[in-house]
Every structure is written in structure tokens, then in C-alpha cells.
Amino acid sequence: MRTLLLAGTALLTLAGTAIPAAAQVSDNVIRIGVMNDRSGIYADLAGEGSAIAARMAAEEFGNKVAGAPVEIVVADHQNKADIAASKAREWVDTGGVDVIADVPNSAAALAVQGITKDKKRIFLMSGPGATALSGAQCSPYGFQWTYDNYAMAAGTGRALYEQGKKKWFFVTADYAFGQSLEEETTKMVKSLGGTISGSVRHPLGTSDFSSFLLQAQGSGADVIGLANAGGDTVNAVKQAAEFGITQSGQSLAGLLMFITDVNALGLQSAQGLMLTTGFYWDMDDQTREWSKKFEAKAGKKPTMVQAGVYSAVKHYLKSVEAAKTDDADKVTAKMREMPVEDMFAKKGRIAANGRMIHDMYLAQVKTPAESKGAWDYYKIVKTIPADTAFMDPKQSGCALVK
Amino acid sequence: MFSLLGVPPQVLFGQLLLGLINGSFYALLSLGLAVIFGMLNVINFAHGALYMVGAFVAWLLLTYLGLGYWWALVLAPLAVGLLGIALEKSMLSRLYKLDHLYGLLLTFGLALILEGAFRHQYGVSGQPYPIPAALQGGQNLGFMFLPNYRAWVVVASLTICFGTWFAIERTKLGAYLRAATENPTLVQAFGINVPVMVSLTYGFGVALAGLAGVLAAPIYQVSPLMGTNLIIIVFAVVVIGGMGSILGAIVTGLGLGLLEGLTKVFYPEASNIVVFVVMAIVLLIKPAGLFGRER
Amino acid sequence: MTVASNATTIAMRGASRGTGTVLIAALLLAVAIAAPFVLYPVFLMKVLCFALFACAFNLLIGFAGLLSFGHAAFFGGAAYIAAHTVKVWGWAPEFGLLAATAVAGAMGLVFGLIAIRRQGIYFAMITLALSQMIFFLALQLPFTHGEDGIQGVPRGTLFGLFDLNQPLTMYYTVLAIFLGGFALIWRTVHSPFGQVLKAIRENEPRAVSLGYRTDRYKLVAFVLSASLAGLAGGTKAIVFQLASLTDVTWQMSGEVVLMTLLGGMGTLLGPVVGAGLVVTLESYLAATSLPVPVVIGCIFVVCVLVFRRGIVGELLHRLPKRGH
């Protein structure tokens, strides 16, 4: 039966232009599954906002590509890898989902990557940062779109080094992502000639950082690199201000910080922080215009993850339109062939390891006096050109790179 | 200059002081738990959630009513205490005749509801809460920089802890309370309204959690998840101290804070777990906890 | 009514109950065999894994009166063992599961030795704290890969014969494991050993005065429960092809309490029903905007306040009355 079907599809494909386009879209619908955390720690970063962004991308095509309607479905993986895995399987096996998008939380994303690779479905990762997703665990159908831990860590590391801050101390979350952030930054700083004066590992979900910060202060480093995320980074920054660390001349660098973290901190505590970002709503007219539309629906400005979902979904739909089918192999070929061009990425391209290569930006958090209001948080200090922003695909450890 | 295992003494002093600050949070929270457990025989799983509610009330007061820290210090524990009394009257009080485990399960459910509701309403990224103007800045102690606010936290929570201990162990009211735990019927016969006293005790215990929440708001993130991780550690503190022992909760809270501070210097990864290791050892040697009585 | 006739009616009721039980069991088995043709197999397998987990937990709370708040340690810990042995050491799934069960049993022995010296809430707190240590280990040990967990575990071939990559083969394997575990629990509960456990639950000092070394009995029950929880966790790791931190968190320990409480503590089928309901609810809520924890919390509160027997317990409570 299955071979028959396959043969049928092959025949149809061969027949090519003679058949109306819609006939080549499986079950006549392009179904995009936005899976993320809708209630936990990533809910503000991705959550419903990512679904809104995906819908905005579909609307630009009139919710129809290659003659087939586009449908967006959503699911909450609750930050559990097993829920992500079972939902992804269910979507692919019985839900007719062609593409899975977003999936913050690296464990969940790795689980989904395994399934989409087996089942030949396209996976557009905007939320997860683990470099393994475009490295050892890469997939011909998996695209890491918005950022990754390397880009965040190395970008900030290099930029601060160039400002003359050469001696680093790390406060690292004792988790795989924390260690990889520390490792990538260390490599970058050392390769430029800087030194590492020490590091301290703290358990995830630590509420009191004073002890670690004091150790960092005692080290005499120029920069304290915060190789942690979310609530941990927020607490660390807040307490660094309290203990007068920034006043005493040391700088803080958030190696994995998002605009939602800055919002949680408030500018009073966050001012002056350096960080790398893949997107900021107030960069140019295009981003401002899109973000305004987004804000009208979501009630707040988009994060880079949400903007990345929009860009990835849009590029996917464009490629379906161009390939006139939703066949995963043909669509991915088109996706790799066409440049990514939208308000999020200018002249972006997809590398062999599935990494979408685009410009990243070094941002500094504004002082309360500089900010004109809610979400006016960043000064873009520098554009990190696409060529140097990401890890060289050859060194990513991805088997697809020859 | 001498050093201890490669750590200079001034660093050690600094860490011990910080440990004491954290310890005073533990003490305040475990005190509330111990009071509730001692009087009601209920393990209050919702304690962490109510601590979070305390911090959120402070934030809400500031954001929507413009009432600052000092108001919050009074109003938030009051609000949490009233919420506690309402919960006790409407739900917990129905369970006293049953196995104590049901109290644990009920409060576990309540904790899920409270945390889930705040998460749904305010997201999880947390809300900023400033340090009150009067307590900004700090003192340079030579071996470390001590922010004034932290010093205030230690003083405030120690005062409250020992005040509570005094009230329960050394006053007439405390005597009634203790008697009511031993034999409620008899105390009732003396003309004391035991159910009301029990409700007030629960209210007081959770008000302590709310107060800890307000004290924590300026240094930690005001986030719906702030109580989730803390509560498990505080449980361990109460178990080590001996469940129901007021003095045990206070002393163990402070002691473990110090121990945790030291761990953060020598093996920071383990700083969240050292409490549980101590607990296992204590239970092997003294199953009732350090200050507990065998029942 | 004479004693004899009384005895006969009791015997008859027992017999009719017996045939009733057999009938119900046959019906349920038929449903379980037919289910994957109607429902999504992966979902059913998840239900079965949690059902076995809840049954194992229920053996302690329902039949020995011990509330463990640390069962996630066995469930999640065993999942890591199964995932590691199968993926890294290339063991066949049956050996992976055996290893998982054995390690969980060994952990149960250590936990048990420490915890059973205390009762009630103390016992719950101690198990909770011990399971936090396992969580710490799961985070720290290199083989667990921190928060990424062990991913991409191959399902392999059971006994070298059955290819577990076929959804139906996998499903029936899980069903067989579940039934095996369930049968073991059933046998335990109805054995003299199970009777002693119940005696301990009802009145420990009395059991002691009758000459039973209650600590021994409780320890054996604890180890058995831990092993079965481990079997469930190991199976889940094979089914989902991953082992992650989620399964070792204390929230997971809370979840299994909820399943058992909702279905009915101390009933054999209760945990199965509870697990089915909770898993269904969670997967249903995942697609809605309702906050999952609030709904789960409300169920908890309602169960504790007005529905302490649980669904199956409530049914059983009403059934015999009708006979009068």
C-alpha cells in the first residue's frame, strides 16, 4: 500500500505541471504546528506570541500557498521533552502537520529534532539555543533560525574584548547550556589573547547570587560573564547592582539574555549591560512597522524568538510556493536555495548544517533617562556581520557538512 | 597571609555573613512551617506559594496603589494571613480528624492553584521591585561590601524569629497554644475557643511566609516560581530541626544558611543539595531531628 | 438467619464477585488489546507507563499506608538507566529494562532503610528529600547529559525477535509489561504478605504485638514498589526514546500521588483509572489556553475535600450496598 502511494506520488510529481498545484500538497492543507512553552519559563519569550507571529506570516500569503490553505495549530510542551516528543509524533502521525516551529527548551527541541528527522518533516527552530541542533544532532530537515548559544556568547565575548575588557570571570549555571556558553566565550576570548581569571558554577534556579558575585568581585576580572539564563540572570544582575559591583568598575555581560529579561529587571538594574541579540524591534522602519502590527495583536513588542518564528514560517511558505509542493525534500532544497529576505533577516542564508546565517547585533541596555518608555530598552552598538556571527559550519560537528 | 584550604579568611567571613543572611530567610520560612505543624499537625505545602503571594502583594501595592515598601511590610503579611485564615476555615479545618497526609495533599493542590494562577496572570519573567530608598547603599566592612538592605533583612527576621519563639514558649498565650495541641478538648473546656485559635495560628504562620516574601522582593525576582524551589529546602530545614520545634527551625535555618554559604565557596555546584545530605545524616543518627522529640 | 445461610450468602456473593471480577478483567483486557486500533498508540503507551507507576506507588500508600513523596526518583532514575544501557552500551531492551528495575530496586532499598524508621508525614518528607538528591545526581552525573537528557534511545528488538519500532509491537510489549507488573501487585496484595501489610496500615502497634517485624515488611513493600516504578520509568524511556529531568522532579512525585488519589487509593484499578484520566487531561489541556497547574490543583483540592475514596473507591463503596 505504502509503496503504491509512493509510486503514485512519484507519478504525480513526474506529471508535474499538468496537475493543479493543490494536488501536490499532502491532504490539501499546509499545517504548521507551533510548539512551545505556553505557561512556564519560556512563555513570555515565545508562548502565544510565537503563534501570533506564525499567523502573521501566513496572513501575508492570504493564508494560502500553492493552492492549499495554511493552518496554524499550537501546543504547549510545558518544557517537558516527553510531552514535546509525544505531541510531535501525534502531529506527524495523525494530525497532518507538515512543519513544526519554535520549540524553546533544548531538551524538547532535541527530542523533536529526532522525530522530524525520522519522519522527514521540516523543523523550524526559533526558540532553542543548543548548538548541537545544528551540530552533532543536525538534521537535513531541521533549521536553527534565530540564535544559538555560540552566537550569543562569542558575539558578546568578542565585542567586549574589543572594548578593552580582556580579563573574564564566569558565573555559570551548572547545566549543559551554561557550560557551553562559558566554553564558547572562553574560546573566543582566549583566541583573541584575553585571559580567564576563574569561574564558579551555581545550581540552576539559585535565588541568591551574592556569594558567587563576591567571588567574581574578588577575582579582579574586568568582566563578569553571566553564563546562565532567565530568572538566574535576572537575579544575578539585580544583586550585582545591590552589592555595588558595577559601580566598582567591573562590567556585567549577559551571555544569554532576552528582552523579556531586561523587562523583568527594569532599566534601573539592567542599565549598561552588554548582550547579543538576533533582532530588536526598534532597528529600522521595517522592524518598527512589523512590531507595531505584532503589538496590536499581542499587546507587547516581539522578542527575537517571536520575530524569528515569523521569518522562518514566511521563508518556508515562500519555498512551498516556489516548489509548488509540500514535499519536505523539495521544500528544503528551495529553502536552502533562496535567500532569506524579510524584516528579520537581510540576505540571510541557510548553511549546510541547517544554521540560518544572518547578522546579529550587539546591544547595550539603555539608562532609565535614555529610554522613552516601555520596551525602549536597547541601543544597538554594533552589527555583527553574518560571516562572523555564527560558528563555522565545518566546525559544528554536523555530519551533513562535507 | 594564612588561608584555609586555599581560601583567604576575608572571603570566608564574607561568605559566612552571606550565609547568615540566607539562613535568616530559611529561619523565617521554616518558623512559619514549624508553628503550623506544631499546632495543626499540617505540613503546609502551600508555604512557598504564600511566600510568593506576599512578594506579589508588595509589588501590586506599589504598582497599582503606589504604596511603598514600608506599607507592604505591614499590609502584605496581613493580606496573606487573611487568605490563610480563609483557606483554613473553608478547607483545612475539615481535615483535622483524618490522616495528616490529607492536609499535605490539600496544601499541595493549593500551591499548584496559587502558582498556576499567578503564572497565568503575570507570566513568569518576574517583576522588578526596587530597594526602598532608606536602605539603599551599603557599608564597607573591610572584608566585604555589605548592602544595608541585607543587614536589615537579618535584623528584621531574627527579631521576628526570636519574638515568635518567646511568645510561644514563654507567654501565657503560648502556653494556651501548646496546651491546645496536646489536648484540645480540655483547653476548650477552660473556655478558650480552640478552632479560632487554630485559625489564627495558621494565619500567623502563613503571614510569616508573606513577610518573608516582602523581605525577599527587593533582592530576588518577584516571580510566580520564586517559592517553588525554596519550599523544598525549607522542608528539609524543618525536618532536620525536628518537626514542630520552634527553636529547632530557627537554629537549623541559620545553621544551614551558614553551611550553604561555605559550600558555595568549596563546591558551589552542591550548594542546593548540601541541605539534603545533612538531612539524611541527621535522620540516620537522630530520626526525630536535632531538636525534635520522639513521638 | 442462621450462621450457615449467612455463610452461604457471603460465599455466593464472593463467588458472584469472583466471576464478576473475571468478567470485568476479560472485558478490560479486550479493550486494552483493541485500543491501539482506535486511539493513538503512543498516547496509550504513556497511559500504561503511568498506570504501572501509579499502581506501584499505590502498593505503598494504599496497602501499607506509607505516603512516599519521592517516587519520581525511582521512575526517572530508572529511565536514565534504561536509556543509558540501551543507547550507550547497546544492550537489548529487555536487559535495559531489567537493569532499570534492578537499580530502582536498589535505590528503593537505600531509601527504605532510611525512611521507614519514621511514619506518616515524616516518612513523606524524608522520601521527598532523598529524591531531591537523586535529582541532583541526575543533573550532575555526566552520563545523564544535564538538562538535555539522554535523547535518541533506540527501541531495538525485544528478545531479538520483536521489532519495537513497529508501533503495535511496542504497544503490546508495554501492555505485557504493565499486565505483568499489575499481576505481581495483585498477587502481592492477596498474599499473606499483603494481609500483614494491611494489618500494619490499620494498626501498626498491634501488628508488632502479634510478633510481626513490621519494618521488614514495610521495607520489602518499599523495594517492590520502587522496582515496579523503575520498570515503568524504564519502559517509558524506551517508548519515548528519551530520559529527561522532568521525570525526576518532585512535581512528578506529586503527579503520581494525584493519579492514585483521583482513581482511588487502596483499590487495585484506581491508579490505572487515575493515570488514564490525568494523562488524558494533560494532553487535552496542552491544546487549550487553560493553565494546566490550576486545573490539576483544583482536582487535587476537590479530591481531598469531598472525594477521598477516588473514582474506583467510590464505585466499590456503592456496589456492595446494592446487594442488600
Q: Is B120 on the interface with C (CB under 8 A)?
A: yes
Is the CB of C139 less than 8 angstroms away from the CB of A175?
Answer: yes
State the count of interchain CB pairs (< 8 A) between A and B: 109
Percentage of chain B beyond pLDDT 90 is 28
* pTM for this entry: 0.83
Is A53 found in the same domain as A38?
Answer: yes
- Of C242, C248, C252, C296, which to mutate for an interface test with A (greatest number of A Cβ within 10 Å)? C242
| pLDDT per residue as tens digits for the range B64-99 | 998 889 999 999 999 999 999 999 999 888 888 887
What cell was used for C152? Answer: 535518541
- Identify any residues that bridge with A102 across adjacent strands, giving them in sequence order: A35, A125
Q: Which of A182-191, B271-280, C175-184 has the lowest mean pLDDT?
A: B271-280
Whether C95 has a pLDDT exceeding 50, the answer reads yes
Whether C284 has a pLDDT exceeding 90, the answer reads no
Q: Which chains touch A (3 or more CB pairs under 8 A)?
A: B, C
Alpha-carbon gap, residue B258 to B274, rounded angstroms: 11
How close, in Å, is residue A402 to chain B by CA atoms?
39
How close, in Å, is residue B19 to chain C by CA atoms?
21
A17 domain-assigned: no
Is the CB of C146 less than 8 angstroms away from the CB of A76?
Answer: no
| pLDDT per residue as tens digits for the range B43-65 | 898 999 999 999 999 999 999 99
**Residue C51 pLDDT:** 94
Segment (H or E) for A65: strand A64-65
Alpha-carbon gap, residue A148 to A144, rounded angstroms: 8
- From chain B, the residues in CB contact with C117 under 8 A are 283, 287
How close, in Å, is residue C120 to chain B by CA atoms?
7
- Residue C160 DSSP SS3: coil
Q: What is the mean pLDDT of residues C209-236?
A: 92
Is A70 found in the same domain as A133?
Answer: yes
What contacts A291, CB < 8 A, 6 or more positions away?
A: A281, A282, A301, A302, A307
Residue carrying the nine cell digits 555583527: A384
CA A157 to chain centre: 19
Which of C122-145 are b and which e, b meaning 16 or more Cβ less than 10 Å from the residue's Cβ? bbbbbbbbbbbbbbbebbeeeebb
Vertex A373, ends A367 and A376: CA angle to 5°? 65
Q: Is A334 on the interface with B (CB under 8 A)?
A: no
Is the CB of A231 less than 8 angstroms away from the CB of B120?
Answer: no
Residue of A nearest to B22 (CA): A208
Q: Higher confidence at residue B2 or residue C256?
A: C256
**Residue C14 pLDDT:** 45
DSSP state of A366: P
A167 domain-assigned: yes
Is the CB of A82 less than 8 angstroms away from the CB of C147?
Answer: no
Is the CB of B120 less than 8 angstroms away from the CB of C291?
Answer: yes
Q: Is B15 on the interface with A (CB under 8 A)?
A: yes
Is the CB of A174 less than 8 angstroms away from the CB of C240?
Answer: no
For residue B121, which amino acid is it? Answer: Q
Whether B17 has a pLDDT exceeding 90, the answer reads no
Residues 25-54 of A with CB under 8 A from B: 39-41, 43-45
Closest CA relative to residue C278, chosen from C258, C249, C294, C252: C258
| pLDDT per residue as tens digits for the range C293-323 | 888 889 889 988 888 888 888 888 887 654 4
CB-nearest to A114 from C152, C246, C283 is: C152
Is the CB of C293 less than 8 angstroms away from the CB of A39?
Answer: yes
Alpha-carbon gap, residue A162 to A166, rounded angstroms: 8
**Residue C84 pLDDT:** 93
Is A163 found in the same domain as A58?
Answer: no
Q: Which of A166-170, B113-117, B143-147, C179-183 has the lowest mean pLDDT?
A: B143-147
Are A273 and A244 in contact, with CB atoms under 8 Å apart? no
- Phi, psi dihedral angles at A60 (to 5 degrees): -65, -20
- Of B87, B92, B112, B118, which to mutate for an interface test with C (greatest number of C Cβ within 10 Å)? B112
| pLDDT per residue as tens digits for the range B205-220 | 999 999 999 999 988 8
Q: Which of A5-14, B146-155, B193-202, C135-144 has the lowest mean pLDDT?
A: A5-14
Range of the domain at A324: 27-147+283-354
Task: Give the domain-ending residue among A354, A378, A395.
Answer: A354
DSSP state of A348: B
- Residue A360 DSSP SS3: strand
What contacts C245, CB < 8 A, 6 or more positions away?
A: A107, C76, C135, C138, C139, C146, C147, C149
Whether C50 has a pLDDT exceeding 50, the answer reads yes
ipTM score here? 0.80
CB-nearest to A114 from C241, C287, C292 is: C241
**Residue B131 pLDDT:** 85
Give the residues of chain A that fall short of pLDDT 50. 1-23
Is the CB of A176 less than 8 angstroms away from the CB of C292?
Answer: no
Q: Is A31 on the interface with C (CB under 8 A)?
A: no
Whether C251 has a pLDDT exceeding 90, the answer reads no
CA A329 to chain centre: 23
How close, in Å, is residue B281 to chain C by CA atoms?
9
| One-character DSSP codes across chain B | ---BTTB-HHHHHHHHHHHHHHHHHHHHHHHHHHHHHHHH----TTHHHHHHHHHHHHHHIIIII---HHHHHHHHHHHHHHHHHHHHHHTGGGGTTS-HHHHHHHHHHHHHHHHHHHHHHH-SS-B--PPPGGG-SEEE-SS-EEEHHHHHHHHHHHHHHHHHHHHHHHSHHHHHHHHHHH-HHHHHHTT--HHHHHHHHHHHHHHHHHHHHHHHTTTS-B-TTHHHHHHHHHHHHHHHH-TT-HHHHHHHHHHHHHHHHHHHHH-GGGGGTHHHHHHHHHHHH-TT-SSPPP-
Q: Which chains touch B (3 or more CB pairs under 8 A)?
A: A, C
Is A161 found in the same domain as A129?
Answer: no
Whether C108 has a pLDDT exceeding 60, the answer reads yes
Is the CB of C283 less than 8 angstroms away from the CB of A86?
Answer: yes
Is A339 found in the same domain as A372?
Answer: no
Alpha-carbon gap, residue A91 to A99, rounded angstroms: 9
What contacts A9, CB < 8 A, 6 or more positions away?
A: A327
Could you say which architecture CATH assigns to the domain B9-285? Orthogonal Bundle (1.10)
Is A161 found in the same domain as A120?
Answer: no
CATH of the domain at A261: 3.40.50.2300
**Residue A2 pLDDT:** 46
How close, in Å, is residue A90 to chain C by CA atoms?
8
- Of A37, A82, A87, which to mutate for an interface test with C (greatest number of C Cβ within 10 Å)? A82
Sign of CA dihedral A279, A281, A284, A286: positive
Is A319 found in the same domain as A288?
Answer: yes
For residue A375, which amino acid is it? Answer: W
- Of B269, B283, B285, which to mutate for an interface test with C (greatest number of C Cβ within 10 Å)? B283
- How many domains are there within chain A? 2
- Of C67, C122, C250, C260, which to mutate for an interface test with B (greatest number of B Cβ within 10 Å)? C122
- From chain C, the residues in CB contact with A83 under 8 A are 282-283, 286
Q: Higher confidence at residue C191 or residue B123?
A: C191
